[in-house]
Each structure stands twice: as C-alpha cells, then as structure tokens.
C-alpha cells in the first residue's frame, strides 16, 4: 500500500483538551484543506479500556486527513496496546504528549509534561509506539519544567529521546511548565516565551525536525517564524477562537494555493449537514450545544456577533437540530458577513523571531555521560 502524500506540516492546529474534537476538526477542514489537524490528547488507558467503544474516541471523517492522534500515558504496556488499537483508524502520525501541565495529567496521572524529567521513559515509549505502528511518531513537549529549565537540560532531553528512539520530529511549546499549583491556563501565559531556545534547537540538531508552538496568533507571525528558519508552526487557541480569519488564509498564505472564494454561509451549510448527522450518535451525546461550540468564534469581531451569541444561548434551551438552531440564530448576522469571501488577514508581529535569533544560547555540546548513555 502506497502512503498518501500530504502537504508538509508547515502549519498545524495544536491538540487542545475539550476543543480539538471531531466537531472542531470538521469545521477546520471545511475552511482549510492543508492545515494539519490534531486530536485532543487521549490517554492510552482510555483507548485500552474503551476498546468496545472506540469510535467515540478515535473515529473521524476521511476528509480530515492529514490528521495526527495524540496519546498520553505512563504505562508502556497500555501505550503499546493503545497504538495497536488505533492503527485501524488510519491516522497519519502518532504524537506523544510530554507537554500537558494539567494536575490531572502531570500530577495524579504522572504523565504529560512531567515526563520531560524522565527522557529514558519517553524514549522507551516512543520506541514502543513506533514498533506498533507504520506511521511516523513525534513528541510534543515544553522547553522545561519548574527549575529544570536551562537550555542544556532541554538539549539533554532532545538528545536522549532522539538517540534512543525513532523520534525525529519534536513540537516545541516555547514556554516551560510550572507544576506548583498554577492552572493550565496560567501555564499558557505566566512562564515567558523563549523562542531563542527553539531556534537554538534548530541550529544544534540539524538532523531533527522541530515545529514551533506558543504565542503565535496570526498568519503574519506564522510566516515570520518560517522565514527565520522554523520547520513548521503550530497554532492553538487563535485557530479555535478566530477560526475563519486565521484558518481561511492558511492554504493561500502558507501553502501557496489560490485565495479561496468560500463564504461563511457555504461553510455553515456543509457544517449543518455534518452536525445533524451526528446528533445523538452516542446516546444523549453529542447534543446541539456540543456541535455548535466550535462556531462560537466563527463571527469574531463581526457585526451581529454579540446578538448571535445571545440568540444561541436561548436556542440551546429548545433547539433539537442544527438546522433549526441556524434558522433561529443566523438572522442576527448580516448577509454581508455571511456571503463575503475571506478578506485580508489580521496583521501580527513579525520581528519577534528575528529578536529571538539574536538571543540564542551558546551551542549545545554532547557531554561524555550523554555519549555513554547513547
């Protein structure tokens, strides 16, 4: 079987718990044909223990390719079983989560970003995943954890994982994680961004691929990161909260496709068909609110957005189909908004990555003990 070739992952949408579900990915793919999509993180134990109900967690429409499954876990046997069970769904890559700072994951669960403190286990996990799948495997991590935040410690992690496993691609969230009780939301803003660590990794590990993540919110910023040498860019909440204005420019501004003539109304018509086809697929779920949730940023900054959201709150109480929901709420949005094609992309900061390259830490050199480890 010949593997399908997709555009390179210059742009990807970050895995986000409770956000990058099947509904959002369906919407994202209606807007962008080339963005790489990621699932939410799914715990290996969930896949293993729900093997009789896997469609609910792993199924996706064929139009979602290229799509990456992100799994998390701290038990090698369950990680192996989960990988085997996921194979039949046909994901294009499998990513291992070493970046989530949630107390449920990094604390009680003892995985996520806490695994950055145990690169040997991560290497073992990546070897297990790779041995049980035919698709590429990748790691998503932070630049450090608590006081383990020096550039050399980050390099130790990258070196050990890449030299002891088939991992050749790392997605780097350019903040460290703090596990001292701050929330996951605060962990996305309080630790400072250090893009200079990312670009130093690109310099010091020329045989590896690195995707930059964290604090990137516009197409201008995506292209600026790539111009400065980023191998790929991953965007998180900006892609969710302002999906039309950001994702609508991915194919043209990043992949060189003609600017789309697609309108919001056309996207909503297709999304309605999808939404009504999946309502109640798993008993009471998904419901209308679940399916509409990814659309709450669809009219970001447009006339009628506030009124539409108020109408949506009322419609959630009684609408039983996506069709009836749209009939009741879309009257708040002017036709000029619904029927206009994608317009100019929001302007972003374009010099932040050049500044980072002027702050690069000294080159990493492999220490004798690392050579012994490898």
3-state secondary structure 317-369: CCCCCHHHHHHHHHHHCCHHHHCCECCCCCCCCCCHHHHHHCCCCCCCCCCHH
Closest CA to 167 of 113, 124, 227, 114: 124
Q: Are residues 141 and 99 in the same domain?
A: yes
Tracing tokens 């108020």 back to the chain, one arrives at 310
Closest CA to 293 of 11, 4, 23, 2: 23
Dist CA 152 CA 158 (whole Å):
10
Q: Are residues 55 and 164 in the same domain?
A: yes
248 marked as binding residue: no
236 marked as binding residue: yes
CATH number at residue 94: 3.20.20.70
Q: Are residues 221 and 295 in the same domain?
A: no
Is there a domain that residue 153 lies in? yes
**Structural domain that includes position 313:** 264-339
**Catalytic annotation present for 100:** yes
Dist CA 355 CA 333 (whole Å):
41
Query: From the CB of residue 306, how many other CB atoms can be counted at a distance below 10 Å?
Result: 11
Dist CA 342 CA 266 (whole Å):
12
Instruction: Indicate the number of domains in the chain.
Output: 2
Is there a domain that residue 366 lies in? no
Are 212 and 134 spatial neighbours (Cβ–Cβ below 8 Å)? no
The three-state secondary structure class of 253 is helix
Find the catalytic residue in 98, 100, 155, 319: 100
232 marked as binding residue: no
Q: Are residues 255 and 321 in the same domain?
A: no
Q: Are residues 180 and 55 in the same domain?
A: yes
Q: Are residues 268 and 253 in the same domain?
A: no
169 marked as binding residue: no
Q: Are residues 256 and 269 in the same domain?
A: no
Domain end call among 260, 287, 311: 260
173 marked as binding residue: yes
99 marked as binding residue: no
**358 burial class (0-12, 13-18, 19+ CB within 10 angstroms)?**
exposed
Dist CA 87 CA 69 (whole Å):
10
Along the 374 residues of the chain, how does pLDDT read in single tens digits?
A: 345 678 889 999 999 999 999 999 999 999 999 999 999 999 999 999 999 999 999 999 999 999 999 999 999 999 999 999 999 999 999 999 999 887 666 545 567 899 999 999 999 999 999 999 999 999 999 999 999 999 999 999 999 999 999 999 999 999 999 987 778 888 888 899 999 999 999 999 999 999 999 999 999 999 999 999 999 999 999 999 999 999 999 999 999 999 889 999 999 999 999 999 999 999 999 999 999 999 999 999 999 999 999 999 999 999 999 999 999 999 999 999 999 999 877 777 778 898 899 999 999 987 655 555 55
Is there a domain that residue 301 lies in? yes
140 marked as binding residue: yes
Retrieve residue 333's tokens: 């949005």
Q: Are residues 289 and 189 in the same domain?
A: no
Omega into 102 within 30° of 0, i.e. cis?
no
Domain end call among 210, 233, 260: 260
């Amino acid at each position: 079987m010949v593997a399908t070739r997709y555009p390179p992952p210059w742009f990807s949408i970050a895995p986000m718990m409770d956000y990058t579900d099947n509904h959002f990915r369906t919407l994202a793919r209606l807007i962008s044909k080339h963005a790489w999509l990621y699932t939410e993180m799914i715990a290996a134990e969930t896949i293993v223990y729900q093997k009789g109900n896997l469609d609910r967690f792993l199924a996706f429409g064929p139009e979602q390719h290229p799509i990456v499954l992100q799994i998390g876990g701290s038990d090698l046997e369950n990680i192996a079983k989960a990988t085997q069970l996921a194979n039949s769904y046909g994901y294009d890559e499998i990513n291992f989560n070493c970046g989530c700072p949630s107390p449920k994951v990094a604390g009680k669960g003892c995985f996520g970003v806490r695994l950055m403190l145990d690169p040997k286990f991560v290497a073992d996990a990546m070897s297990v995943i790779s041995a049980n799948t035919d698709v590429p495997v990748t790691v998503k991590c932070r630049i450090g954890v608590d006081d383990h935040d020096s550039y050399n410690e980050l390099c130790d992690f990258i070196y050990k994982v890449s030299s002891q496993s088939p991992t050749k691609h790392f997605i780097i969230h350019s903040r460290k994680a703090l596990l001292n009780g701050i929330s996951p939301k605060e962990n996305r803003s309080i630790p400072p961004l250090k893009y200079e660590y990312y670009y130093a990794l690109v310099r010091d590990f020329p045989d590896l691929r690195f995707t930059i993540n964290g604090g990137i919110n516009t197409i201008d910023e995506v292209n600026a990161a790539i111009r400065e040498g980023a191998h790929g860019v991953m965007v998180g909440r900006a892609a969710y909260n302002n999906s039309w204005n950001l994702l609508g420019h991915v194919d043209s501004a990043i992949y060189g496709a003609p600017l789309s003539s697609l309108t919001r109304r056309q996207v909503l018509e297709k999304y309605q068909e999808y939404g009504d086809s999946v309502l109640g697929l798993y008993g009471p779920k998904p419901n209308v609110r679940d399916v509409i949730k990814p659309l709450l940023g669809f009219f970001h900054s447009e006339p009628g957005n506030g009124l539409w959201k108020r109408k949506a709150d009322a419609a959630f109480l009684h609408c039983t189909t996506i069709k009836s929901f749209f009939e009741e709420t879309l009257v708040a949005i002017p036709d000029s908004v619904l029927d206009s094609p994608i317009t100019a992309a929001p302007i972003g900061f374009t010099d932040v990555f050049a500044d980072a390259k002027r702050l690069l830490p000294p080159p990493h050199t492999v220490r004798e003990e690392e050579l012994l480890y490898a």
